Amino acid sequence: MKLQEIKINADTMKFEVDILKQKESFAIVVCDGKAKLTTLPHHGETKIITHQGKVKRIKFDEGEEF
C-alpha cells in the first residue's frame, strides 16, 4: 500500500514529518483529522479524488518511458 498514516498529536492537532528521511518526492493529504503520506511515482500521475469537499480516494497511474 502506498499510503502511510501520519500520527497527529491529539493535544496540539499537529504532526511532524522528517523530510530528510524521505528518499523520493512525496505528497501529504489531510482530511477529517487524518493525515497520510504517499510517495510520488517517477513517471505517472497521482490523482486525489474528492467528493463533497472530502478526500474519497487517491489513484495512481504509473508508466515507464520506452
Q: What is the pLDDT of residues 3-40, one digit of tens each?
A: 999 999 989 989 999 999 988 999 999 999 899 999 99
Q: How confident is the model at residue 48 (pLDDT cuts 50, 70, 90)?
A: very high
- Whether the predicted pLDDT of 1 surpasses 70: no
Q: What is the pLDDT of residue 64?
A: 80
CA separation, residue 20 to residues 31, 52, 58, 62, 63 (Å): 24, 34, 24, 25, 27
Residue in 57, 55, 24 with CA at minimum distance from that of residue 41: 24
